[in-house]
Structures are given as C-alpha cells and as structure tokens.
A and B are shown apart, each in its own frame.
Chain A
Amino acid sequence: MTLLSMYKRDDSRTVYRILAEEAVKHIDQPKAGAESKILFTSLTRLLERYRYDAFTYDVAPGILEVFKTRNDAQRTEYGDAGRKVSLDVIPALETAHARIYQALSKEDLLQTLKTVLAQLAASAPPDDARATEELVKARSFFVALCEALKERHT
C-alpha cells in the first residue's frame, strides 16, 4: 500500500495558468536559457493539441495487458490519468482565441503564435511594425488565456 492515495485530478488549469503567466513575463522581459526553452516548447505543444483537438491522455497499455492481473498496481505510469479528457484548458483556449484572434482559424492561430514563440526563444526583438503588433497580440492572447483559467479556478 502506498503512503497516500488520491483521486487523480485535472491539473490543466494550474499548469497552463502558470505557463501563460510566464509567457507574459517573457514577452515583457525576454530572457534566454533553459527556462524559456521549456516554456516555449510546452506552449507550442499546447497549441498543437488545440489545433488538432487532441485533448486526451494517451495510454499505451502493455501489449500483453489482457493477461495482466497481479502486477497492475506495481506498474509505473508517466502521468497517465486514464482516458480522461482535459476539460479546463479547452474552453479557456477557445475564449482567448475568440477574444484576440477571432478572425483566425486554429491552423493560422497555431502558425502565428509558433512564429512569435520561435522569435522569443531566439531572443530576437521584433524587426518591424508588423512583428511588434504580432507580439502585442500574442501577449494579449496569453493574458486572456490566463484570465480565463483563473476565472474557472474560482
């Protein structure tokens, strides 16, 4: 028996609230290093999931799962929470999308924000008015995402 057992929960609003807050901080004060690398990678992954509507936890049971009985409790799983859909972050993303980029499709939203995040990761300041405008919009998107996640938190 483990020391403590708890029902698994959907952490998405906490995780993505933290990441969105950090994105805003990095836009305001760009910094290079491991922190920004992982931050931007995680945010791009989130946007990829949004683009492809892929908000389920992936589970790969052992190929011989059908025969498992005794060892189930000992099996280590990497953060799997069954097939539960991560609910909280989806409406928050939809809200931020509608509020800031209402004219863009999910695909275009992904490409736009990927470009901005890549520039931030490279610590490259915006080189023209359009790039500056995109950066401002991206900041607004992450602020809106953060607010939407906080709203659902109460």
Chain B
Amino acid sequence: MNSKEFLLQECENVRATLRDVLRHDYSAGSSAEFYNEFCERLAFLEYLLKPTDSDDVSALATFAGELSLLSTIVHHMERSHAGEFPWPFTEYLQSLATPLCKENLAQNEGEPIIRVYAEGGLDSYQINLENDLSQLNIGRRIFTIVFPRTLRHHVLLHAIFGHEIGHAAWTIPKHKADLMDKVLKPLRAAGPLNSTSQATAWLGNDPGAPGPIVDLRNQDPDSTQIDGNKLNSWFQEFMCDLFGLVTFGGSFLAAHQTLLLALDPTGHRWGPYHPPYICRKAVLWRACKHLKWDELPASLHEPGLRADVVAFMNSYSGTTAPGRWEDVFTQDQVAAAVEALRTFLSAAGTSCFNMPDESTLSSLVGMLTNHIPPCGSDLSGAASPVNRGVDFRHILFAGWLVAEKLTTPSGSVKQGLTFDQLNRLCELGLRQQRAIDLYNSTKKGQTS
C-alpha cells in the first residue's frame, strides 16, 4: 500500500470514526454543526487527494498532516459530549465568544464552532486555536477549550475562560490589527516593557525587584533575557487578562488569582509566554480602579452585602497599590487600553461586564447562602411567578462573594457548604437561568 492509497483509506477511517462519534449526546444542535463541517472537510480532502500524483511527495505530506489533524479534532469533539462539562455555562461562554470569533469572510459565513472538553491536570486550562495559516482544509473555524477534568463542575473557576476568548479574537487578522493598534499601543508606549533592552534590564537588573525575583534571576540568569517574541507574548497575555476582566468581571479576577497562585504561591515566576503574576495582578488592579469597582461598596445600602463586596475586593484586587517594580504601566496607560477594549468588544457584538444592581446581587447572594441555585426565579410563591433575566456573570460574581465567606465564616452562610457544592449550586443556577432566558425569549417572540 503506497502513501496515497493509505491516505485514501484513512479518509474512510476518519469518516467511520465521525459516524461513531454520533453515538453520544451533544448539546442541542451542536452535533449537526460539527458533523456537517467534518463531512465537508473530508470531501474536500478526498477531492484533492484522488487526482494527486503518487510522486508528488510535498502534496502527500501536506494531506497526511491535514488528515491527522482532522482525526485529532474529531476525537476532541467526541470528548465534548453532554455530561462531560457544564453545558449551560458553555452556551453562555459561546454567546460571548462567537461574535468575536466570526471572521466576516463571506455574507453567508457559518459561525465558528466552539467546544469544551476536559483533559489533564490543573495546568490544562487552554484554548486550542485551529490555525488556518498553511492549512488547506478549514471551513468554519473550530476552537476547543480545555479545562482540568477534576474541575468539571467548577463554573466559578471557569471564568478564567474570559482570558482565552482574547486569544481566540487575536487569531482573526482584522481583530489582531485593531487590538495591536488600539489596546496594545497605549500599553507599549512607555514603561519598563517599552523595548526588549529595557525589559531585559528591568527583569535582570532592576535593583527595586522583590526578593523572590532576585532569587529566580540568580537561579536562571538566561531566563531574564527578553527577546521580541517573548515581549510580544507577554503583551498578548496582559491583553487577554484585560479581556477576561472586561468580559467576565469580578469572577475573572477571583478565578485568575485562585488558579495562578494555586500553582505558584509566590506569584513571581515567569515564562516565555507569561509575565510574572504580580505584574498581571498590578494591571488588573489598575483596570478595576479605572472601572470604579473599588467604589462599588460605597454605593450599597445593605451593610452585609457591602461587607461581602469589601472582603471580595480586598482579597482579589488588593488593599494597597502594586509595588513599584511590578507596576509596569501607568493608570493612564491601563485606562486607555481598557476603554479601547470595551469599544472593540461592543463593536464586535460582545457585551462587557457591568456590575449588578444591589437588588439583583442581594437576591443572588441570599439564594446561595440558603443553598438555593442562584438565578432569576421568582420564589415569592405568587400564583403567576414572574421569572426574570439575570446576567450569568452576576451569578458567578455572587458565587465568589459567597465563596469568600466560606474561608472566613461569618455565620451568614448555612452550615456545611463547601466550595465544590457552591460551584454545583451555581452550575444549577446557570441551568435554571438558561431555561428562564429561553422561555422569556420565546414568549417575547410570540408577543412581537
């Protein structure tokens, strides 16, 4: 069997696997979208492969790569079947990400396919970007978001996906150009990360660096060298953190700190793609200040709720300004970036996070403290209950306010609630809210 014959056979194998994958249940309508997409890709590949000369080794090598990639993604689709992840959360996530991931290549363009599946340990939070560069065979773009298997129901931590949405938007050339020009330009305009030489001097020699940074420098002096790629990656990470904050709000702030500090409790380590956490936190601190979230407690009338918000902000935004070394951008730089990002998101059709009103927040926190899934359900006992729309991000924010009380018991949370149970309550709340939203939109459609 020569290479071409094998590849044609492998097309049949992928097709058989694709049919096999359909034995699982997927969230409503989503199996048809990926099945049709893969059938089209297979048809295109076979159409190209069949007339190819068996001596055209370049083409055959390319087809082999394409086919291997296709079967990998089919396998990932299979793992995104219902029951493997909190689908109501994913549907809300898709509502934020889909407008951003549209490429606007053609008038009747299909929407990108965004799927979620579990894999690996704590460090596995990631988005797989299906890179179209030098790929023959992509119709609708497919993004798969990966989270740790152990955190399947931890919707409060999944707020970290707000960061990954930024990476997805970055793959669209027009978006990338806009983001570089509007969001990153102000951040790159001044400060210690203004150039690779300044950044290297700041990371490797600045005498004002905290002790743990000095230790890390001494352990691995080579890692203090910042070249163009590393600096670009770091800026992309800063931007994606702002994406997370602006799209998911307070819950992103908490998830970001919880996950990153869980694996690096010092918060000082860096890598080729990521800057030290303390720098990222400093950017988020300045962004929160710009968004006036630090002023939220003063606007609340209910003392208990005010105390909850104060405790949350103290834990996740911080009580003091960042230190000089890690505070790599000025307030004006961060403010300009945040405003540009909000404008960009609105233009794309993705809604930014706005703080909930006091009544909504109080209601959601109250439900959670009584172990009731938080959502817009009317629990008044009225003969004709009126369930209302609630932004899913407000449910997550309320969840984090209550999570803060778990570690510092104030007696207001009913006994016995764990972080895991709190997440499951929020997951149930999201599911109930999704039902309310669907019912309300159907009803609205009928009346109009």
A77 contacts partner chain B, Cβ-Cβ < 8 Å = yes
What are 15 residue pairs bridging A and B, where the CB atoms are less than 8 Å apart in the complex?
Answer: A34-B44, A38-B139, A42-B135, A45-B138, A54-B177, A58-B129, A60-B129, A62-B125, A64-B125, A71-B124, A76-B128, A77-B128, A78-B128, A78-B144, A118-B106
Of A7-15, A126-134, A138-146, which binds chain B?
Answer: A7-15
B225 contacts partner chain A, Cβ-Cβ < 8 Å = no
B window 64-96: CB within 8 A of A: 65, 69, 72-73, 76
Picked from B47, B128, B134, B264, the residue with its CB within 8 Å of the CB of A67 is: B264
Question: Contact between B106 and A78 (Cβ–Cβ < 8 Å)?
Answer: no
B15 contacts partner chain A, Cβ-Cβ < 8 Å = no
Number of B interface residues, CB 8 Å?
65
B130 contacts partner chain A, Cβ-Cβ < 8 Å = yes
A55 contacts partner chain B, Cβ-Cβ < 8 Å = yes
Question: Contact between A15 and B123 (Cβ–Cβ < 8 Å)?
Answer: no
Top 9 nearest A-B pairs (CB, nearest first) are A60-B167, A66-B271, A62-B126, A34-B40, A52-B173, A54-B173, A64-B123, A67-B263, A61-B273
Question: Contact between A10 and B134 (Cβ–Cβ < 8 Å)?
Answer: yes
Chain B's closest residue to A60 (CB) is B167
Question: Contact between A79 and B229 (Cβ–Cβ < 8 Å)?
Answer: no
Question: Contact between A66 and B173 (Cβ–Cβ < 8 Å)?
Answer: no
**CB of B411, distance to nearest CB on chain A (Å):** 35
Question: Contact between B40 and A37 (Cβ–Cβ < 8 Å)?
Answer: yes
A121 contacts partner chain B, Cβ-Cβ < 8 Å = yes
B382 contacts partner chain A, Cβ-Cβ < 8 Å = no
Once the chains are docked, how many angstroms separate the CA of A71 from the CA of B438? 40
**CB of B294, distance to nearest CB on chain A (Å):** 25
A48 contacts partner chain B, Cβ-Cβ < 8 Å = yes
Chain B's closest residue to A64 (CB) is B123
Once the chains are docked, how many angstroms separate the CA of A76 from the CA of B74? 13
Question: Contact between A12 and B127 (Cβ–Cβ < 8 Å)?
Answer: no
Question: Contact between B103 and A48 (Cβ–Cβ < 8 Å)?
Answer: yes
Once the chains are docked, how many angstroms separate the CA of A54 from the CA of B41? 24
Contact with B along A38-50 (1 / 0, CB 8 A): 1111101100110
Chain A residues whose C-beta falls within 8 Å of the C-beta of B168 in the assembled complex: 60
Give the one of A37, A57, A60 with max B CB within 10 A: A60
Chain B residues whose C-beta falls within 8 Å of the C-beta of A28 in the assembled complex: none
Chain B residues whose C-beta falls within 8 Å of the C-beta of A19 in the assembled complex: 136
B residues near A (Cβ < 8 Å) are 39-41, 43-44, 47-48, 58-59, 61-62, 65, 69, 72-73, 76, 103, 105-107, 109, 120-139, 144, 146, 160, 163-164, 167-168, 170-171, 173-174, 176-177, 229, 233, 259-260, 263-264, 269-271, 273-274
Chain B's closest residue to A66 (CB) is B271
A window 1-47: CB within 8 A of B: 10-12, 14-16, 18-19, 22, 33-35, 37-42, 44-45
Once the chains are docked, how many angstroms separate the CA of A42 from the CA of B105? 10
Chain B residues whose C-beta falls within 8 Å of the C-beta of A16 in the assembled complex: 134
Picked from B61, B163, B170, the residue with its CB within 8 Å of the CB of A58 is: B170
A65 contacts partner chain B, Cβ-Cβ < 8 Å = yes
Once the chains are docked, how many angstroms separate the CA of A118 from the CA of B106? 7
Question: Contact between B174 and A38 (Cβ–Cβ < 8 Å)?
Answer: no
Chain A's closest residue to B104 (CB) is A48
Question: Contact between B106 and A14 (Cβ–Cβ < 8 Å)?
Answer: no
A137 contacts partner chain B, Cβ-Cβ < 8 Å = no
Question: Contact between A86 and B134 (Cβ–Cβ < 8 Å)?
Answer: yes
Chain A residues whose C-beta falls within 8 Å of the C-beta of B128 in the assembled complex: 60, 76-78
Picked from B120, B130, B176, the residue with its CB within 8 Å of the CB of A54 is: B176
Question: Contact between B259 and A49 (Cβ–Cβ < 8 Å)?
Answer: no
Chain A residues whose C-beta falls within 8 Å of the C-beta of B176 in the assembled complex: 52, 54
Chain B residues whose C-beta falls within 8 Å of the C-beta of A56 in the assembled complex: 133
Once the chains are docked, how many angstroms separate the CA of A63 from the CA of B241? 10
Question: Contact between B105 and A44 (Cβ–Cβ < 8 Å)?
Answer: yes
Question: Contact between B123 and A65 (Cβ–Cβ < 8 Å)?
Answer: yes
Chain B residues whose C-beta falls within 8 Å of the C-beta of A55 in the assembled complex: 133
Give 16 A-B pairs besides A45-B138, A59-B129, A79-B65 with Cβ atoms closer than 8 angstroms. Answer: A11-B134, A18-B62, A18-B136, A19-B136, A34-B40, A34-B43, A38-B40, A41-B139, A45-B132, A48-B103, A58-B171, A63-B260, A64-B123, A66-B270, A80-B131, A118-B106
Question: Contact between B136 and A62 (Cβ–Cβ < 8 Å)?
Answer: no
Once the chains are docked, how many angstroms separate the CA of A58 from the CA of B16? 31
Contact with B along A76-116 (1 / 0, CB 8 A): 11111001001001000000000000000000000000100
**CB of A12, distance to nearest CB on chain B (Å):** 4
Chain B residues whose C-beta falls within 8 Å of the C-beta of A35 in the assembled complex: 43-44, 47
Chain B residues whose C-beta falls within 8 Å of the C-beta of A18 in the assembled complex: 48, 59, 62, 136
Question: Contact between B273 and A59 (Cβ–Cβ < 8 Å)?
Answer: yes
